[in-house]
Amino acid sequence: MTTIIIDQPLSWRDIAAVSEGAGLTLSDAARDRIANARTLVEAIVEKNIRGYGINTGVGALCDVIIDRTQQQKLSRNIVMSHACGVGDPLGRVETRSIMAAMVNTYAHGRSGVRVEVVELLCAMLKHDCIPVVRSRGSVGYLAHAACIALVMIGCGHALLGGEKVGGAEALALIGHEPLVLQAKEGLSLVNGTACATGLACVGLARMARLADWGDVAAAMSYENLGNQAGTFDDETLSMRQSTGLLEVGGTLRSLLAGSPLLAKIAGRRTQDPLSLRAVPQIHGAVRDNFSHVADVVDRELASVTDNPAVSGTAAAPAVHSQAHAVGAAIALAMDNLAVAASLLGAVSERRIDRLVNPLVSGLPAFLTADSGTCTGFQVVQCTAASLAADNRRLAAPASLDGGITAALQEDILTHATPASLKLLTILRNVEEILAIELLSAAQAYDLQSRLMHSATATTAVWRQIRERVPTYADDRPISDDIDAMRALMSGCVRAVREEQPGGR
C-alpha cells in the first residue's frame, strides 16, 4: 500500500489517492505543528481566555460560558448532537476522502486537537476502518464529520473487513482505544470544510477520468459519422485561445490518425453537426473549467478552515473566531463543475442520437442489422436522454439554496457538502451516458463495411469493448452491457488504448 507523508498541505490528487486506499502518515514537522497548537488551546483554557467551542457553547449558544470541569463533556456532547444525518451511508471512497481531508486540516497546526486524535484517523485509514456516515442532512459539514468522530470515541458503527461493527469494537480490532475528547476537540472534529473538500477531490478524480473517456467516445462517434475535412487541424483550433481546446484537439488527432474510414469520406460535408465538429470547443471548455475548480480545491486544502483557529505562543495565545469554515468557494466550484459535467453528458447524448438515427447516420436504423425484429439501440438512447435530463435538474446551484439555522446565528448557508454530493450523482449519470455512447460507437463499427477500417487507436478501444461485450442483437438486457462498459471505464483510458494496437 502506498503511503503519503503529510508535511505540506495535500493536493486534491493526494486526497483522491487516499480515498482509493493509499495510507496517510504525519511528518515530524506536521506532528510538531499539531502538538504546538494543542499547547495553545491548553493555555487558552488555563488563562480562561474566551474561545468559541473551547469554553463556550456553539452556534446560537456561543455566549454561554462553559466551566472548565464541563469542557470534556461539551466536546463529547457536540459529537453526539451533531451526529444527526439520515439516509444511506456514503461509500468507502467518499468516507476515506473526508477522513484524509480532516487530517490535512489538523496538520496545518491551527486547530488544537491532540496528536493522538490525528494519528487515530491515520490508523483508521491504514486499516480501512470506515465509519458509517449517513449521506443526507447536512447544510454544510457537521453531520457527516460527526459520524466519523462517533467511531473515534467508541460509538456509532464502522465497516471493517466488510463487516459492520460497533465503534468500540472496530477500534479494538485495529489496536486502539476510544478517545476521551478534551477541550475544543469535539468542535474541531465536526468543523471546517473537510467534508465538502474531501468529496470534491473524489469528484475531480472521477471527472478527470470521464473527460478522457469522453474524448475517446467522441472520436469513435466522429469516425462513424463525421466527414468534414480538417475539423480538428491544429492550425484551425489554435485560432481560439483555450488550453483545454488545444488539448482535446491534440487528443482527437492522435485517436483518429491514419483512419482509412475518415480518409474515404472526408470532405463530403462543408460542416458537420455541432455535436461532432465542436468537440474540442465543448470538451475543451469543460477541461478549462476543471482546471479552475482544481485550483480552488487545492487552495482550500492549503487553507485553515477550522473555527476557531489558534495562534501565538503559550505565554500569549490567541483565538480567532472567524468564518473560514464557510465553504462558499467549494460550493461555487462544485456548482460550476456540475454544470460542466452535465454539458459533457449532454453532448454525448446528442452524439448517441445521431448514431442510432437512420435519418442522419447512414447506418442501419438503431444500429441493428435486423431492423423491425430487433429494436437495437432505440430505447437505450432514451436512457441516455433521461440521464441527461436528470443532470439538467441536478445542475441547479446548491450554493444559492440559502436557509437559516441556529436561531439566526447562521443566517446564510452555502451548502458546500450537498454541492459536492450532487456533483457525484451527476458524474455517475455522465459515466452511464458515455458508456452508452461507447457501446453505440462500437456497434456502429460492426455495421460499417469491412473495407472501412478504423484508426489504430480507436480500434484498440473497440477490441477492448468487444472482449467484454459482444455485438448486440436484442439477445440480452442491454443494461448489463452498460454495467460491463462502466467496469472497463473504471480504468485509465490510455492503458486501454495502448493495450491492443492494430487495425480492425
Active site members: 52
CA dist 177 and 167 (Å) reads: 10
Q: Which long-range contacts (CB under 8 A, 24 or more apart) does 227-230 make?
A: 227/262, 227/265, 227/266, 227/267, 227/268, 227/269, 227/272, 228/266, 228/267, 228/269, 228/270, 228/271, 228/272, 228/276, 228/277, 229/266, 229/267
Q: Please say whether the dihedral angle defined by the alpha carbons of residues 496, 499, 501 and 504, taken in this order, is positive or negative.
A: negative
Q: How buried is residue 382: exposed, middle or buried, by Cβ count under 10 Å (0-12/13-18/19+)?
A: exposed
Q: What is the largest CA-CA distance in the chain?
A: 85
Which positions ≥6 away from 316 have C-beta within 8 Å? none
CA angle 392, 396, 400 (to 5 degrees): 180
Pair 132, 169: CB distance under 8 Å: no
Q: Label residue 379 exposed, middle or buried (CB < 10 Å: 0-12, 13-18, 19+).
A: exposed
Respond yes or no on whether the N-terminal peptide bond of residue 477 is cis (omega within 30° of 0). no
Checking phi first, is residue 163 left (phi over 0); if not, alpha (psi -120 to 50) or beta? beta
Whether 16 contacts 208, CB under 8 Å:
no
Distances (CA, A) of 332 to 52, 136, 206, 340, 425: 27, 20, 18, 12, 17
Do 239 and 280 contact (CB within 8 A), yes or no?
A: no
Alpha-carbon span 148 to 21, nearest angstrom: 17
Rounded to an integer, what distance in angstroms lies between the CA atom of residue 217 and that of residue 485?
A: 12
CA–CA dist 130, 167 (Å, integer): 10
For 87, phi and psi rounded to 5 degrees?
A: 90, 180
Non-local CB neighbours of 44 within 8 Å, separated by 6+ positions: 51, 54, 55, 310, 317, 319
> Residue 230 corresponds to which amino acid?
G
Asked whether the beta carbons of 416 and 193 are under 8 A apart, the reply is yes
**Contact (CB, 8 A) for 242 and 288:** yes
Query: Nearest 5°: phi and psi at 181?
Result: -70, 140
